[in-house]
Amino acid sequence: MNNILVTGGCGFIGSNFIHYLFNQSDFKGKIINADKLTYAGNPENLKSIEKKYSDSRYFFEKIDIAKFSEIESIFEKYEIDYIIHFAAESHVDRSITGPSEFIHTNIVGTFNLLELARKSWKDRKDVLFHHISTDEVYGSLGDTGYFYETTLYDPRSPYSASKASSDHLVMAYFHTYGLPVTISNCSNNYGPYQFPEKLIPLMINNMLEEKSLPVYGDGKNVRDWLYVEDHCSGIWEIVKNGKRGETYNIGGENEWTNVDLLNILCEKVAVEKGKDKDYYKKLIMFVKDRAGHDRRYAINCDKIKAELGWKQSVNFEQGLEITVKWYIDNLQWMKNINSGEYRKWIEKNYLNRQ
């Protein structure tokens, strides 16, 4: 693991993974972070890493994985040993209104990476392409049951369909070309550095600004919530010890309806702000459900626990408290995003790089 290419490393999960990796005593190599810096890519998430490791163990490259020549330049510049592939368009609502970017990044981008890995690595077996996917490829569950690694794919949105397609491409390269690969499918992540279009940071931000808290439909849609650092530890276990050609589900085993989650979140924020625990609940409002809104996701993660010894480090109560405190302690980070100041900083420091 001399050189690890992390795609989408300036995003929410990717930046958390880079922080996690540099804190692991068994990682001595270098990280090349390749990111397009779309609206959700924020190198500010990695300022401390860049300051400490830049030009020695951490290298940033602004590239678009959907452009073959740009990702090819990374393989020419560095001898890549492992690829941890986070880069993806990931917001369901955006995929409904504008699916094109999801096809280009999630499908074409993954294909480009696989092709270059195949050509660069040839018959090497001391390499790995690890692909991060989602539980949404499995479709929707009823009131009972779980997604297993053997569950048939049944994607319902352009986002989940694009991720399902990329998953199949990854496995095709394993079976056709013998490319060493692993895949992980995770449940909903939460934690620090998440772009405030997603449910938990969006609701925290709205509470702090005393804006309405919109809930789709009846609010009874169920999601399984996974603390982002636990996701990162699961990925690292798979990368080190996972069987090549296998898929591993990483779940939080924390099922909550959207409305119950929001009520708990209201109470956590209220406590942190020194208000009555029900103070923010008056802001909750129900809005028209979105198209193709899956009713329930729930992941069974027995396989990664049994085979690799992984387990979650925090329960939902603890993870939510850590998350709420992080956003309240990092209000300037949130303000920079909401005001657009972070984009000005990115344009000044990153977008003009060649």
Question: Residue 319 in contact with residue 261, Cβ under 8 Å?
Answer: no
Name the phi and psi angles at 25, rounded to 5. Answer: -70, -20
Taking Cα atoms as reference points, which of 117, 125, 119, 151 lies closest to residue 137? 151
Give the H/E segment covering residue 121: helix 109-121
Pair of tokens at residue 250: 């990483």
Query: Which residue in the list 35, 61, 64, 135 is annotated as catalytic?
Result: 135
State the CB neighbour count (10 A cutoff) for residue 180: 18
CA 190 to chain centre: 9
DSSP state of 67: S
Say whether 272 is catalytic.
no
User: CB under 8 Å to 155, separation ≥6 — which residues?
Assistant: 136, 137, 139, 161, 163, 164
Taking Cα atoms as reference points, which of 163, 5, 16 lies closest to residue 91? 163
Query: Which residue in the list 58, 138, 146, 159 is annotated as catalytic?
Result: 159
Question: Residue 4 in contact with residue 28, Cβ under 8 Å?
Answer: no
Taking Cα atoms as reference points, which of 85, 87, 88, 92 lies closest to residue 159? 92
User: CB under 8 Å to 21, separation ≥6 — which residues?
Assistant: 4, 27, 31, 232, 236
Say whether 101 is catalytic.
no
Say whether 280 is catalytic.
no
Q: Is 216 helix (H, G, I), strand (E, B) or coil?
A: strand
Q: How far apart are CA 241 and CA 236, in angstroms?
A: 8
Query: Which residue in the list 136, 167, 237, 267 is annotated as catalytic?
Result: 136
Q: What is the DSSP string of 300-323?
A: --HHHHHHH----SS-HHHHHHHH
- Report, as residue numbers or ranges, the catalytic residues: 135-136, 159
